[in-house]
Homo-oligomer: A and B are copies of this chain.
Amino acid sequence: MKKMSIRARVVAGTVAAAAISAGTFGAVSASASAPAAESRAAVKADTHNRNLQQTTHLTIDAATKAAQASLDAAERAGQRVTVAVVDRNGNTIVTLRGDGAGPQSYESAEKKAFTAVSWNAPTSELVKRLESAPNLKDIPGTLFLGGGVPVQAKGAPIAGIGIAGAPSGAQDEEFAKAGIAALSR
């Protein structure tokens, strides 16, 4: 476990880059190398006890910091949104229902975050996958609308941030990225 810790870092740098070049954001793309990356989960066997494994998660402090940063970014842009952070195990760990956010935004934010962490890709990318597999969107808990982005540790998904309430998914995604960027500060 030790080495992992040393090298583990939230991929905020990558994300900051992604803000510039959205096409390369996240560990998974349509390229041939994607599947391998996708299956590299933040899970590690415990060599001292064959019954145990370790998994990596955001702390609640980090998740709250990211969510707050997303909400701040939305407020600066004059948008009223809800923010959700969902763990890789599927549990919601933070929600912030912004002042004046529409009633549809709460579940939307959770589902976008869930979707992003499930496939380790921004939901704006995942929408494109529906062209070849349209029924992916029938999987319970998912929502294929821009605004969800994965949080990664060493390329593996450890959480998703989902934003809902802005007029476009692109804007929602911008705020989600602002949340991830806060993790490297």
Residue positions of A touching B, CB distance < 8 A:
1-6, 8-10, 34-36, 38-39, 41-43, 45-62, 64, 68, 71, 78-80, 86-108, 111, 114-115, 117-119, 127, 130, 133, 135-145, 153, 157-158, 164-169, 183
Instruction: Give the residues in chain B near A47, CB-CB below 8 Å.
Output: 5
Interface of A is mostly: mixed
Cβ-defined contact, B103 with A89, below 8 A = yes
Smallest CB-CB separation from A2: which chain B residue? Answer: B2
Q: Which residue, A60, A165, A183, has most C-beta atoms of chain B within 10 A?
A: A60
Within the oligomer, what is the number of copies of this chain? 8
Task: Given A35-B167, A60-B99, A91-B103, output 15 extra A-B contacts at Cβ < 8 Å.
Answer: A1-B4, A2-B2, A5-B46, A8-B48, A35-B168, A51-B183, A54-B54, A55-B100, A64-B64, A90-B103, A93-B95, A102-B157, A103-B114, A136-B145, A137-B138
Q: How far is the CB of A143 from chain B (nearest CB, A)?
A: 6
Smallest CB-CB separation from A117: which chain B residue? Answer: B103
The complex places the Cα of A127 from the Cα of B96 at a distance, in Å, of: 28
